Structure 1
């Protein structure tokens, strides 16, 4: 195999060692350091990893796996009435994933092979009538692809529509009156049957805080 197949690792043996230490054996950081020191004594060559921190860094840097959660605080910053409701005075967490990273993971998912459209398409029945069976077979997707084709600088680019959705299901975090409203994201290129079956075609993009307060009397 080519070196590129193992991403940041130099070769297959280094990749397998990382998998064994971290995933299969779940060796402690201290024991990894001891093992690397022992390996360094063989023929005076450098060990595969200088220590456990380098190993962990390489694993974390791989462009696969779960997208990390991020968060920020929001708070009302407008003019306060004489007796402001409690929600105007509190800070609220908004938890989210990087939307671009989520879409990249979905687009690279091999499970979607044969169930994803890489370009807009026109589908017709036996009578020549247009049929809309998936998002990429609709006129809107075709129009967007036409706009991409008009610009020479975007030739070869792939049109990747984003589908957002939410529902009335709230996720309580069990702290005070705070609840979160889930916001979902999906890759518009996958076929409807894949999205309906989830199959990692739908991910949670964010949890939006829902302030609760009584109406002023």
Structure 2
């Protein structure tokens, strides 16, 4: 083969190696080395640029080649220092009120145990209704057309007459039967109940407000809270543990209620260890409701949901009691006895309804929560929100 042909094919192994750390290039002469460094490594000033590229099959290493000295861990002098790790925001959770999941009997689960699947009612379970006809008729008359009680009785009477030839009866006897069935409905909500007060003064000459019997309509607050907790819409936006939120600069950051001092400082009872703290908010709507009904409506909410979910409602604020407002003639406007009666009536009414939560404020109760887990929950009264003095 001609001599020039051998040179064009590059026969013969280069003897000079590139001095740049990590570069496997081999060159023929010192001039080629200088040219290679000036062109290939002039802008290689980062640590990442020191790692050699993967070799092609034709450039695979031969036995005996040692590149360990080239892959030095010491970067060149012009490489920048590695950036220090920046501080990150962090949350410090309460040490013992840390909300451990449990089963429906209150027995704690192992760490990482999945929640039990949610149970759904059977399609033919109509609860307080006998069948689908009763349910849909009650929904139609009471909610959709809001028919008067007199018209309901007339409709049911005609229905019963039409069923007599089949030796059968209509779905309801009268409007009272419909209302009682609706009031007994408990699925998805808490039924309303009525609490009647005793007479304050039975003397014949006593003022009318003292001889009057008052009605307080309420829903069991424990049932209302249980329904709020068992709301899958809140999954992922629900705090189970009080915490202190620090930003990247180590400064305190307040956002949701469970990040506040109130939640942290009200969890100092070691008897509630591993339970979930559930603060209860209260509020009232006097103006709107009193004009329409003569009562004061009180609603409650919980401190566990995130603020954005509370603003979006999602059944996080629910009415639970309508307190009657004692009224008297104008001559009693400045009567100290009447003022004292109203104060006592107000506090006694709230105490009677809220006493249903007393057991859950002394000892944790087991409740299902948004993620499907059961938790041992301890109740606590939180702030009362109002825009006027009570």
Note closer, same or farther for the CA distance 1:62–1:212 as it changes in structure 2 (3 Å cut).
closer
Residue equivalent to 1:110: 232
Per-residue deviation at 1:162? 0.6
| Distance change >3 Å, CA 200–CA 211, structure 1 → 2 | same
For residues 134-164 of structure 1, give each alpha carbon's deviation from its aligned partner in whole angstroms, at most 9, with x where no partner exists.
11111121122332xx22xx33211111101
How many residues end up aligned between the 2 structures? 168
1:160-217 Cα distance to aligned partner (Å, 9 max, x none): 111011133243597xxx6110001001111222222322000001000112211327
Match of 1:77 in 2: 200
Q: Return the structure number with greater relative CO, CA threshold 8 A, min gap 6.
A: 2
TM-score by length of 1: 0.65
In the alignment, structure 1 residue 122 sits paired with structure 2 residue 122: no
Secondary structure in structure 1 of the residue aligned to 2:226: helix
Alpha carbons of structure 1 residues 61 and 90: separation in structure 2 relative to 1, 3 Å: closer
Alpha-carbon distance in 1 for matches of 2:323, 2:202:
23
Q: What is the distance in 2 between the residues matched to 1:108 and 1:204?
A: 17
Give CA-to-partner distance per residue, 1:50-79, whole Å, 9 cap, x none: xxxxxxxxxx99974110111111245258
- Counterparts of 1:5-84 in structure 2 under 5 Å? 6=119, 15-18=122-125, 26-27=132-133, 64-77=187-200, 83-84=205-206
- Tell me the residue number matched to 1:198: 313
Relative distance call for 1:74 and 1:162 in structure 2 (3 A) is same
CA distance in 1, matches of 2:134, 2:186: 24
Q: Return closer, same or farther for 1:131/1:168 CA change in 2, 3 Å cut-off.
A: same
Structure 2 counterpart of 1:184, from 293, 296, 299: 299
CA, structure 1 residues 64+129, in 2 after alignment: closer, same or farther (shift >3 Å)?
A: farther
For structure 2, the residue ranges without an aligned partner over 5 or more in a row are 1-116, 136-182, 333-390
Query: In structure 2, how many angstroms separate the alpha carbons of the residues matched to 1:84 and 1:78?
Result: 6
Task: Say whether the 8 Å CA contact 1:182–1:204 is kept in structure 2.
Answer: yes
C-alpha distance in structure 2 between counterparts of 1:115 and 1:102, whole Å: 19
Question: Secondary structure in 1 aligned to 2:248?
Answer: coil
Relative to the length of structure 2, the TM-score reads 0.38
The Cα offsets for residues 38-97 of structure 1, whole Å up to 9 and x where unpaired, read as xxxxxxxxxxxxxxxxxxxxxx999741101111112452586x8533211111110011
CA contact (8 A) 1:171 1:179 kept: yes
Hey, what does 2:286 align to over in structure 1?
168
Quick one: distance in 2 between partners of 1:68 and 1:75? 23
Q: What is the root-mean-square deviation in Å for CA atoms of aligned residues?
A: 3.4
What residue in structure 2 maps to residue 216 of structure 1?
331
| Unmatched tracts of structure 1, length 5 or more | 10-14, 30-59
Equivalent pair of 2:298/2:321 in contact (CA under 8 Å) = yes
TM-aligned CA distance change 1:61 to 1:5, over 3 Å: farther
Contact 2:298/2:322 (8 A) holds in 1: yes
